[in-house]
Amino acid sequence: MKDAAVYSTGMEDRATSHHFRKRKEESQKLENKADKHKKSTFPKLALLCDCRSHLTLSMMTDRGPCPDHKYFKPLMDHASEMCFIARVLGDAGFDSEEHHVWTRREHGAKTIIPATAGRPTNKPFKGAHRREMKENWDRYKKPYGQRWQVETVNSMLKRMLGSALRAIKPWNRKREMMLRVLTLNIMIIAAAK
């Protein structure tokens, strides 16, 4: 396999529409200002997909909001057990020098992740791989464009199988997300025949 892309997304934990919930939250905030710092959580799904076939090679479930970078290594380790990945594409949420070095050392794969994490500065990055990404981004722009394939997988998952989870308990929500990803893989394989 040539390219794989990593991505994480939030799922809806209720069947009510996002618009309706936001409107309700806004009206409640006006009524009770004490809740203005309360953050709502949501089920989170992280995927590593093959850019050519759109098959999901690895997935993790979690509770958001939380940073994406913690999913990178487990997703890569699991996917690499099944197939060789030559290049991994990720968005800025996965940006770290450690991910570049670890992926090359442990899996022999290259990484293309835009170096945008951290405070904006004119100083060069300390890490060689992040500095390479920043200074020569024009060279990586075209292959990085394939990262949108994982966005397509996310779109297919939510359009065909829905973004609202029916399960109530956290463990059941995790199982439901796993079953949806498995179902999407089966649908992709069946459509390819």
**pLDDT tens, residue by residue, 159-175:** 999 999 999 899 999 99
Q: What is the pLDDT of residue 67?
A: 92
**Model pTM score:** 0.83
When pLDDT is averaged across residues 58-74 and rounded to a whole number, the result is 95
When pLDDT is averaged across residues 14-27 and rounded to a whole number, the result is 69
Here the tokens at position 165 are 């989870």
Tell me if 13 sits within 8 A of 165, measured CB to CB. Answer: yes
When pLDDT is averaged across residues 139-148 and rounded to a whole number, the result is 94
* pLDDT range class, residue 21, cuts 50, 70, 90: low
CATH of domain 3-10+42-192: 3.30.420.10
Best CA proximity match to 7, nearest among 92, 101, 80, 81: 92
Identity (one letter) of the amino acid at 56?
T
pLDDT exceeds 60 at position 37? no
Best CA proximity match to 188, nearest among 163, 152, 148: 152
Q: What is the pLDDT of residue 125?
A: 79
pLDDT exceeds 70 at position 152? yes
Coil, helix or strand at residue 4: strand
Q: What is the pLDDT of residue 132?
A: 92
Tell me if 95 sits within 8 A of 68, measured CB to CB. Answer: no
When pLDDT is averaged across residues 5-34 and rounded to a whole number, the result is 75
Cis peptide before 114 (omega within 30 of 0): no
Domain ranges across the chain = 3-10+42-192
pLDDT exceeds 90 at position 76? yes
> How many Å apart are CA 131 and CA 191, to the nearest integer?
42
The predicted-structure confidence for 98-135, as pLDDT tens digits, reads as follows 999 999 999 999 999 998 876 677 777 788 999 999 89
Tell me if 150 sits within 8 A of 47, measured CB to CB. Answer: yes
> How many Å apart are CA 18 and CA 38, to the nearest integer?
18
